[in-house]
């Protein structure tokens, strides 16, 4: 009898209480973000996220700095929200420390087991920059040097700040003259070109993901003026002239009234030098007030003279209407001009090849009969023309 009672009791438990216990089990949420081991997080904008589970009535969050030994730490009730802003939790700040967290889900009076522990490291404001260069030095606009400094690993960018200074004592003033951001740990002192010669102070403010450090100790420097040098622009050569172009300063500074030179208006020695060095590598530069620009290489465009072939000089009984004038090809020439001189004047013909077939119709430029002529050819391209060839003579039939 006792065995029967025990049997029915076991059956009742398995049919009634066991399903209830199974139904009361709560799934464990999984942490999502920040990923475990993540670093450089700004707690003011960072949410802790975990999976959202159906039919739960709330979540508990444990959060601690330094290690994952939560002990008897009271959890934070996040309600039905599966996230929590890090900065809203007790004791968290952007201090570069590592924080540990885990979550559990609640369903009525039942709770899930605690999740895997995740950790992340917060961002930290950088230390102030150090080892600033150019302290107490003299900088010339003619030979600028880079400003250099050192910054720690939390620095994402730096602000270079240049202050006014008392011109007699060099004491740093409060007026900010230049404020320029850079990701590098240097900046060219070319930024000084906008300042007048005088005494100044400069410093650096290192900035990171969560703010900027205090400014580094200000460094004093003196700025000397520059001998302004014109920048060379380009050289254009061809059609009997070479033109040099350069940067033009204001007349008040250099008294330069033009920023180009046409070789035909230059002294004879200059013109002869150019004429004797066609096609050679040449170098030019421009100076102002005793300061010279860096030299620049150029080559004058030139075409060789065409060499006449047919009709050869001195030929007679030449039948122009059935003949083709021919001359040698000139490298880099794109067209040619042929001139035939005699009779009623000069006839001019153009050809894209080193030859020309004479027309039969006099109205199209045919030559007269029994007449003495001379002919010559000039080569051209888009940039220049050659010297005219030698002249050949002939007499038509």
Handedness of CA 43, 45, 50, 54 (dihedral sign): positive
H-helix segments, 142-239: none
The two structure tokens encoding residue 133: 């260069």
Strands 76-79 and 83-85 come out as unpaired
Q: What residues form DSSP beta bridges with 236?
A: 243
* Closest by Cα among 213, 221, 222, 223 to 130: 213
pLDDT at res. 135: 66
Question: What confidence tier does 18 reach under pLDDT thresholds 50, 70, 90?
Answer: very low
Residue 256 has pLDDT above 60, yes or no: no
pTM (2 d.p.): 0.46
Across the strands, what pairs with 311? none
For the chain, give the percent of residues with pLDDT over 70.
88
Task: Give the whole-angstrom CA distance, residue 22 versus residue 3.
Answer: 27
Mean pLDDT of 204-229: 86
Give the 3-state secondary structure of residue 87. helix
Taking CA 170 as the corner, what is the angle to CA 164 and CA 175, rounded to the nearest 5 degrees?
A: 15
Mean pLDDT on 205-224: 90
Q: For the chain, give the mean pLDDT.
A: 85
Give the pLDDT score at 336: 95
Query: How confident is the model over 73-116, as pLDDT tens digits?
Result: 999 999 999 999 999 998 899 989 999 999 999 999 999 999 99
Residue with tokens 């969560």: 210
Look at residue 219 and give its three-state secondary structure.
Answer: strand
Query: What structural domains does the chain harbor?
Result: 24-122 (2.60.40.10), 137-224 (2.60.40.10), 232-299 (no CATH), 308-396 (2.60.40.10)
Rounded Cα distance between 147 and 21, Å, is 72
- Judged against a pLDDT cut of 60, whether residue 340 lies above it is answered with yes
- C-alpha span between 354 and 348 (Å, rounded): 15
pLDDT at 140: 79
- Cα separation, 173 vs 136, in Å, equals 16
Burial of 27-38, coded b for 16+ CB within 10 Å and e otherwise, reads ebbebbebeeee
- Residue 178, pLDDT > 60, answer yes
Q: Report, in angstroms and rounded to the nearest whole number, the Rg of the chain calculated over CA atoms.
A: 45
**In this predicted model, what pLDDT tens digit does every residue of 342-382 receive, in sequence order?**
987 898 999 999 999 987 776 666 788 899 999 999 999 87
Contacts of residue 122, Cβ cutoff 8 Å, sequence gap at least 6: 40, 41, 42, 43, 86, 92, 93, 94, 95, 96, 97, 99, 210
Q: Is there a contact between 226 and 142 (Cβ–Cβ < 8 Å)?
A: yes
Token pair recorded at residue 24: 């009361």
Among 236, 256, 252, which residue's Cα sits nearest to residue 244? 236
Per-residue pLDDT for 17 more than 50? no
CA distance 246 to 241: 17
**What is the structure's pLDDT at 254?**
45
Which of 350, 349, 303, 311 lies closest to 329, judged by CA?
303
Lowest-confidence pick of 25-29, 282-286, 308-312: 282-286
């Amino acid at each position: 009898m006792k065995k029967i009672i025990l049997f029915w009791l076991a059956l009742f438990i398995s049919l009634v209480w066991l399903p209830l216990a199974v139904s009361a089990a709560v799934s464990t949420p999984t942490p999502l973000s920040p990923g475990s081991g993540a670093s450089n997080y700004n707690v003011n904008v960072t949410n802790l996220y975990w999976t959202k589970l159906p039919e739960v009535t709330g979540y508990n969050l444990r959060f601690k700095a330094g290690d994952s030994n939560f002990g008897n730490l009271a959890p934070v009730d996040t309600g039905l929200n599966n996230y929590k802003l890090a900065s809203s939790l007790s004791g968290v700040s952007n201090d570069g420390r590592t924080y540990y967290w885990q979550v559990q889900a609640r369903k009525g009076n039942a709770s899930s087991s605690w999740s895997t522990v995740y950790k992340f490291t917060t961002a930290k404001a950088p230390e102030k920059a150090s080892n600033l260069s150019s302290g107490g030095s003299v900088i010339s606009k003619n030979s600028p040097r880079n400003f250099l400094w050192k910054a720690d690993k939390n620095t994402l960018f730096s602000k270079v700040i240049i202050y006014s200074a008392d011109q007699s004592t060099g004491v740093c003033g409060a007026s900010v003259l230049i404020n320029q951001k850079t990701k590098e740990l240097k900046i060219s002192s070319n930024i000084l070109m906008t300042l007048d010669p005088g005494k100044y102070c400069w410093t650096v403010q290192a900035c990171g993901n969560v703010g900027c450090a205090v400014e580094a100790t200000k460094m004093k420097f003196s700025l000397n003026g520059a001998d302004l040098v014109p920048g060379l622009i380009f050289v254009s050569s061809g059609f009997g002239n070479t033109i040099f172009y350069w940067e033009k300063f204001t007349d008040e500074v250099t008294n330069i009234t033009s920023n180009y030179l046409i070789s035909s208006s230059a002294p004879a020695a200059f013109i002869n030098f150019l004429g004797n060095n066609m096609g050679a590598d040449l170098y030019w530069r421009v100076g102002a007030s005793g300061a010279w620009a860096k030299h620049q290489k150029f080559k004058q465009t030139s075409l060789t003279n065409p060499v006449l072939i047919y009709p050869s000089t001195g030929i007679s009984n030449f039948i122009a209407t059935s003949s083709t004038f021919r001359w040698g090809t000139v490298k880099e020439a794109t067209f040619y001009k042929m001139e035939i001189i005699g009779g009623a004047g000069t006839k001019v013909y153009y050809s894209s090849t080193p030859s020309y077939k004479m027309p039969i119709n006099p109205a199209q430029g045919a030559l007269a009969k029994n007449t003495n002529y001379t002919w010559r050819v000039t080569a051209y391209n888009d940039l220049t023309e050659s010297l005219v060839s030698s002249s050949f003579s002939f007499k038509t039939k």
